[in-house]
Chain A
């Protein structure tokens, strides 16, 4: 029975490792490859930590299991090994992990700065839209074609709900804010997340690598409908985005009278 329990502590980490190993093939892994450049970097850091953590996990769990196994299989007449500890070991297992931890911290800094520090945002990025969250939808405001996005609303700005069109292949900036409570802008495929804090306008940047439709969901509890803040980010070529905005202008201006003028966005 003793041996059974010792094996128990070998058994479960083994199962855990196997589950993780088969997870990607069963779809229990990231929702697709990262679709932004920062996303690729985030995934890279994730795998770096995953390797370190897996080695530590296997090492510590199996040593624990082995310590139990030794206890289970030893001669019952044999006494416990009397020791208060070892200075040398304490020093080793203080220094080694601290180097590893410092290494992990340092390896994060560049990516963190790139994602979050505003002065380090890519130079040639365009402010494409303002995303304003409210219970329970995402309101998108594009600047009037040909003008710059400002914090205040301007006449001619274009509005849409729950669908954000962005060009691919270049860094874009989105101004994130909220009209009511706190929300969070989360696009799992782009690996982007930022809280929308009442009273603040927070710029976020990302570049979408491939044409496609990506999810935009809310990641901060904002009330009963938190789960249903479902929106999409449509990434397409610049010309398609332009076309979309022209169409949006036309739709917004349509009044049923001078349909031609309205279509061309006059």
Chain B
């Protein structure tokens, strides 16, 4: 590219961004991907500054993505160990068993303590180190500035910190697993109910591990909070000219609402975590002083002296679920937003009912704050509260249903592209239906009395967190991969990955509904000790085999991902013919994102619109000015 063209571009830019802060735009000129030697002289950054302690939201997003993909494999391995025990109780694990033998589980046999640690760490890793950071951290970071048309986050340094606080959290979770040599650890479930998690003598050896676990929880909380503040500020203040709220892609809406949920719910969990830490002070420091927030009087654990106190263990459950119910939506809403974007693009149609989609997300977020008690129907709380929570929980199924209908409406009559993105998104919708419907059984208190803490619940939340969110993520990885790396992923491999994951997933988790109906409690190291569960062993074996197939299928994704970073087919700015602002930037965008500062003229979903047809396409970028001769649409 010669100097003339470059200056020309600069002029156009200056022209089109009058009144727009040039300082934020001009760096784009230097590194927008063209080989322009003088620009690199200006901005020579060391490898460390560029890829490690980067302030660039795209790099941070990719860092989050890589980290969470690794954590996904760790969490998956833990899950397979859990499944091994349920299929072949007390038998030595082949190969991997020797590995676990490292930390003394009798030569590969899983001990009951170790079993509790396995499911606790599986859930903690998956929730706090995979699902939450992959949605908000990876895709939130990568997409927000690009989709609203700005050069970076409002607070780039805070953004970098939010990534780097993940690592101490990972270290803490790791310590909690290994600190006692793997013989004892935080075996209290991800819900960490006191008193089991409160009195160290209740689970011998859980002193330091449980403390590390709580610190890890606090640290991921800090990381999320820094992200939320950043996203809220960025979305409110830094939208490109013309990007009104109702022209924002649903991805941005979902990130925005998620950030609000985080910002308001997280402090409660952090406070509860500290309360628990204070209760446990005497197991951390050589002191007799500790609080008794959750410790009632006269509790005799493991023949120790009776406790002195006046606390209430149920308080923890209220505080925990006050965060963790909104948190389950934190683990879902961004995927909902992204899938809406992708479904519209792959159906070449506008999202059906854009505003109802926004309102239903807002309703989910609002109602999400008043349903936490549905996790406590059998806890002994006042039955009048149970009725209230039942009704509010039923009501939250309503916006979920509306979203499903709108997704189907989006596909309906579309010019469908049957690529793996589309398949994963359709899988997302199909699986969300199952998860939402099983939720209704458990929202009904009398029925939940039977289902609470059985495998029915395990089925329910895996349908939502894995079947829904992760399938959405699989689609999103492939969809935005070209923007991240300038190359595309192999679609055939992705289709195989989808087919194997989808079949493996359903064979793994659908039968769990039946296990739940058969009354199999969750978190049992050996259910077959009980006569009424003995006959479920074959089904559990089937589930384990399916889970292993599904686990190995993930190597297709990883392989394709890393191969395509280096060898994938190179693509241009807009390989999917999509409408969003991110597709006007180079692939990958340089530092500062946009070489032509975007100005927005319409909503993000005008696929196959009359305007698009007038310019001979089935899509029309948000930055294209109004096409002359086409009547303006009343809406959008």
A→B interface (CB under 8 Å):
1-2, 5, 8-9, 12-13, 16, 19-20, 23, 27-32, 38, 41-42, 45-46, 49-50, 52-53, 56-57, 60-61, 63-64, 67-68, 70-72, 74, 78-86, 89-90, 93-94, 97-98, 101-102, 104-105, 108-109, 111-113, 115-117, 135, 179-182, 184, 186, 188-189, 191-195, 197-200, 202, 215, 217-228, 230
With most chain A CB atoms within 10 A of its CB, the pick from B297, B416, B515 is B416
The answer, among B187, B426, B454, B610, for a CB contact under 8 Å with A68, is B426
Q: Does B468 contact A (CB under 8 A)?
A: no
Do residues A135 and B202 form an inter-chain contact, with CB atoms below 8 A?
Answer: yes
Please provide the chain B residues from 488 to 535 with a CB less than 8 Å away from any CB of chain A in the complex.
499, 502-503, 506, 510-511, 514-515, 517-519, 521, 523-527, 529-532, 535
Write the nearest CB–CB distance from B108 to chain A, whole angstroms. 18
Q: List 25 A-B contacts (CB under 8 A).
A: A20-B514, A23-B514, A49-B441, A53-B438, A67-B412, A71-B411, A79-B348, A79-B415, A80-B347, A80-B349, A82-B349, A84-B354, A85-B351, A86-B409, A90-B353, A93-B405, A105-B390, A105-B394, A111-B446, A135-B302, A181-B199, A195-B378, A224-B116, A224-B203, A227-B521
Do residues B299 and A198 form an inter-chain contact, with CB atoms below 8 A?
Answer: yes
Write the nearest CB–CB distance from A190 to chain B, whole angstroms. 10
Do residues A222 and B444 form an inter-chain contact, with CB atoms below 8 A?
Answer: no
Write the nearest CB–CB distance from A98 to chain B, whole angstroms. 5
Q: Does B174 contact A (CB under 8 A)?
A: no
Q: Please give me the residue from chain B that is nearest to A46 by CB atom.
A: B447
Do residues A219 and B402 form an inter-chain contact, with CB atoms below 8 A?
Answer: no
Q: Does B575 contact A (CB under 8 A)?
A: no
Write the nearest CB–CB distance from A262 to chain B, whole angstroms. 30
Q: Please give me the residue from chain B that is nearest to A60 by CB atom.
A: B433
Do residues A60 and B618 form an inter-chain contact, with CB atoms below 8 A?
Answer: no
B→A interface (CB under 8 Å):
111-113, 115-116, 187-189, 193-196, 199, 202-203, 296-297, 299-302, 311-314, 347-354, 356, 378-380, 383, 386-387, 390-391, 394-395, 397-398, 401-402, 404-406, 408-409, 411-416, 418, 423, 426, 429-430, 433-434, 437-438, 440-441, 444-447, 449-450, 452-454, 499, 502-503, 506, 510-511, 514-515, 517-519, 521, 523-527, 529-532, 535-536, 539, 607-610, 613, 618, 635-636
Do residues A225 and B196 form an inter-chain contact, with CB atoms below 8 A?
Answer: no
Do residues A197 and B402 form an inter-chain contact, with CB atoms below 8 A?
Answer: no
Residue numbers in A under 8 Å from B523 (CB-CB): 221, 226-227
Do residues A193 and B441 form an inter-chain contact, with CB atoms below 8 A?
Answer: no
Residue numbers in B under 8 Å from A67 (CB-CB): 408, 411-414
Docked pose: A52 CA to B443 CA in angstroms: 14
Docked pose: A90 CA to B433 CA in angstroms: 18
Do residues B112 and A227 form an inter-chain contact, with CB atoms below 8 A?
Answer: yes
- With A85-B406, A116-B386, A224-B112 given, is the CB distance from A193 to B195 under 8 Å? no
Residue numbers in A under 8 Å from B414 (CB-CB): 67, 71, 80-81
- With A9-B430, A108-B445 given, is the CB distance from A72 to B418 under 8 Å? yes
- With A60-B408, A80-B349 given, is the CB distance from A194 to B433 under 8 Å? no
Residue numbers in A under 8 Å from B437 (CB-CB): 53, 56-57
Do residues B447 and A179 form an inter-chain contact, with CB atoms below 8 A?
Answer: no
Do residues A71 and B415 form an inter-chain contact, with CB atoms below 8 A?
Answer: yes
- With A80-B415, A223-B196 given, is the CB distance from A101 to B430 under 8 Å? no
Write the nearest CB–CB distance from B112 to chain A, whole angstroms. 4
Residue numbers in A under 8 Å from B532 (CB-CB): 31-32, 188-189, 215
Residue numbers in A under 8 Å from B354 (CB-CB): 84-85
Do residues A184 and B378 form an inter-chain contact, with CB atoms below 8 A?
Answer: yes
Docked pose: A104 CA to B441 CA in angstroms: 10
- With A80-B349, A101-B398, A179-B300 given, is the CB distance from A19 to B454 under 8 Å? no
Q: Please give me the residue from chain A that is nearest to B519 by CB atom.
A: A188
- With A28-B517, A72-B418, A116-B386 given, is the CB distance from A180 to B301 under 8 Å? yes
Residue numbers in A under 8 Å from B433 (CB-CB): 56-57, 60-61, 64
Residue numbers in B under 8 Å from A16 (CB-CB): 434, 506, 510
Residue numbers in B under 8 Å from A111 (CB-CB): 446
Write the nearest CB–CB distance from B170 to chain A, whole angstroms. 24
Q: Please give me the residue from chain A that is nearest to B412 by CB atom.
A: A67
Residue numbers in B under 8 Å from A12 (CB-CB): 430, 502-503, 506
Do residues A46 and B411 form an inter-chain contact, with CB atoms below 8 A?
Answer: no
Residue numbers in B under 8 Å from A79 (CB-CB): 348, 415, 608, 613, 618
Docked pose: A12 CA to B431 CA in angstroms: 11
Write the nearest CB–CB distance from A72 to chain B, whole angstroms. 7
Write the nearest CB–CB distance from A134 to chain B, whole angstroms. 8
User: What are the 3 A-B residue pairs with the smallest beta carbon separation, nearest first?
Assistant: A199-B296, A71-B416, A188-B519
Docked pose: A56 CA to B503 CA in angstroms: 22
Do residues A28 and B203 form an inter-chain contact, with CB atoms below 8 A?
Answer: no
Docked pose: A83 CA to B415 CA in angstroms: 13
Residue numbers in A under 8 Å from B610 (CB-CB): 82
Q: Please give me the residue from chain A that is nearest to B393 by CB atom.
A: A105
Residue numbers in B under 8 Å from A179 (CB-CB): 299-300
Residue numbers in B under 8 Å from A90 (CB-CB): 353, 356, 402, 406
Residue numbers in A under 8 Å from B434 (CB-CB): 16, 57
